[in-house]
Amino acid sequence: MKRIIKDPEVRRKEILTAAEELFMNHGYVNTTVEAIIQQVRIAKGTFYYYFKSKEDILDALVHEIVNQHCEDYKKIADDSKIGAIDKMRLMLRGDSQHAKNENKLMENLHRPENRELHERINIEIVIKIAPVFAGVIEQGKLESVFNVEYPLETIQFLLAGSQFLLESGLFKWNKEEQTKRMQSFQAIIERSLGAASGSFSFLL
């Protein structure tokens, strides 16, 4: 049988896609390199040509997911026709098409077996996406809708805290408990950013 030669980027993408599917269906911890190799139907040497380990794939997958979200947020942040509050609404509610397409992925991240993947993504979000939010907050200061001394550091605390308490799946809040915490988060973000009461009611 003739050996199929594929473009390196195509092959790398195939491996990442297969790994993502396996991580989502079986969990990162329960997925082996051998399972990924079998899924893509490649030789072990081919796998190790592109990735050194399963953790290397995890890093690549996290960067890919967060970078795509970051691009979506930057498009919103760079739109001069949109006010700061509306930009925050679009970004925090995940109204971008890519964010909608990632719903299944994000739901699966809450599973205990995917905690490592989820935590890696949360770290990348604080590092890469917080600066985009900070730029919008600076715009809000110019528009006099925000009044905050440390935009970047403030949004980093807000993102990290909300991800751990509201999105990690660790606390298993019931609907009423989740609602109360979202109401609290609305109040906290408004006070932290010096925004008018009710400015972030879209969170509810």
Query: Which domain CATH number covers 135?
Result: 1.10.357.10
For the chain, what is the domain count? Answer: 2
Give the pLDDT score at 201.
Answer: 96
Give the pLDDT score at 2.
Answer: 46
Region 22-36: mean pLDDT is 90
Q: Are residues 171 and 86 in the same domain?
A: yes
* Spatial contact of 80 and 189, defined as CB atoms under 8 Å apart: no
pLDDT digits (tens, 9 = 90+) for 41-89: 999 999 999 999 999 998 898 888 889 889 999 999 999 999 999 999 9
Give the pLDDT score at 157.
Answer: 96
State the Rg of the chain over Cα: 20
DSSP 3: P
Give me 135's structure tokens. 């730029």
Give me 103's structure tokens. 């719903």
CB atoms within 10 A of CB 75: 12
Q: Ranked by mean pLDDT, which of 64-68, 112-116, 132-136, 167-171 comes out on top?
A: 132-136
Q: Are residues 181 and 125 in the same domain?
A: yes
Q: Are residues 97 and 187 in the same domain?
A: yes
Give the residue among 141, 130, 17, 14 at the shortest CA–CA distance from 84: 141
pLDDT digits (tens, 9 = 90+) for 143-161: 999 999 999 999 999 999 9
CA distance 146 to 165: 24
What's this model's pTM, rounded to 2 decimal places?
Answer: 0.82
Q: Are residues 146 and 47 in the same domain?
A: no
CA distance 36 to 28: 11
Query: Which domain CATH number covers 12?
Result: 1.10.10.60
Domain carrying residue 34: 1-51
pLDDT digits (tens, 9 = 90+) for 168-201: 677 888 999 999 999 999 999 999 999 999 999 9
Q: Are residues 45 and 32 in the same domain?
A: yes
H-type helices in 78-150, by residue range?
A: 84-92, 97-101, 103-109, 115-124, 130-142
* Spatial contact of 58 and 116, defined as CB atoms under 8 Å apart: yes
Amino acid identity, residue 192? S
Q: Are residues 105 and 198 in the same domain?
A: yes
Give me 201's structure tokens. 């009611």
Q: Are residues 95 and 107 in the same domain?
A: yes
Give the pLDDT score at 1.
Answer: 39
